[in-house]
Amino acid sequence: MLLPGGRGRPDPGEGAPPVVNAGSKIHPYADYGGSFFLVRLRRMKTVTIIGGGQTGRAFGKLLSRTGFELRSVVCRSLQHAEEAVAFIGAGTPALSPENADLILLAVPDDQIEGVSSHLKGLSGSIVIHLCGALSVDILESAKRAGARVGALHPLRSFSDPEAAADSFVGTYCAVEGEPLEELEALVEKIGGIPLRLETGGKILYHAGAVFASNYLVTLLDASRKLLEKAGIPKSESLGPALSLAKGTLRNIERIGIPGALSGPVERGDVGTLQKHWEEIQSRMPEFTVGYRELALKTVEVALEKGSVSGGRAKVMQDLFRTGDVE
């Protein structure tokens, strides 16, 4: 019996390990010894990590905690490799990679192809990179050397590898490539939630992640600057913007995106929108294009929610496309 959407997780009533709370550092299935992981991870017991930076260290700690044998951590300098191994608490520092069931490339994006091209004798190995924007095609040389290749991209920051490893449970991870089932099982074993990408979908996936993370920062920066122009001191301007954003995110989580939409577009308040539009063009013209494009996309969400009629939506669209309100 399977849990809904679980792709093979054992039902809690059929000998599965106890569920742990969300604050746990260890995934509830990390130490499960039944057939759940044995089938899909039977060929993935030993690991070599190339790259001892923040991401490599976090993944090294996650993998060693959950039962993988970390053979070597490879860096350009032995000192850097030794520091990475000391942080992880497992593995051997090295300047050249040791073959393993899984070879994980935790190097900068522009080094992935070059590092991959130096790997030889890879029959039976899986080679993966962790880049969000590059497809598995970048690992073609490793594939020619006998490896099955894939990509795994966690949707989170690794600026603090210790904190990243400790709070990894529940992290979404995009996976693609030939060894999909093994990568999904690997993600689940270290506590993540796998997202299987369609072939050719990597760039749009990454763009979607940029919208949710990087551009959220930009939107809050725009909000802060508009509030400052309205007279709120710079030292206080981020507070109200952040409070609104947090409340909206909570609402989205609770009732979904259309349901969480509020404000002048949601209620079809053309008068207020026109005042916004005129004031921004007059006093903050650098935000004109951004406000217009976001408003037009928000009209689409309001239509999905059913809070405005098609006629009212057209009036709002005409305002931002032509500047005229009929």
Tens-place pLDDT, residues 220-238: 999 999 999 999 999 999 9
Residues of the chain scoring pLDDT < 70: 1-40, 42, 323-326
Q: What is the DSSP letter of 10?
A: B
Strands 148-154 and 69-74: unpaired
Q: What is the DSSP letter of 287?
A: G
- The upper half-sphere exposure of residue 59, i.e. CA atoms within 13 Å in the direction of its Cβ, equals 29
Provide the pLDDT for residue 322. Answer: 84
Tens-place pLDDT, residues 237-277: 999 999 999 999 999 999 999 999 999 999 999 999 999 99
Q: What is the DSSP string of 106-173?
A: -S-GGGHHHHHHT----TT-EEEE--SS--GGGGHHHHHTT-EEEEEEESS--SSHHHHHHT-TT-EE
For 101, phi then psi, to 5°, come to -60, -40
Provide the pLDDT for residue 326. Answer: 52
How many residues comprise the chain? 326
Q: What is the DSSP string of 202-250?
A: HHHHHHHHHHHTHHHHHHHHHHHHHHHHTT--HHHHHHHHHHHHHHHHH
Single-letter amino acid code for the residue at 307: S
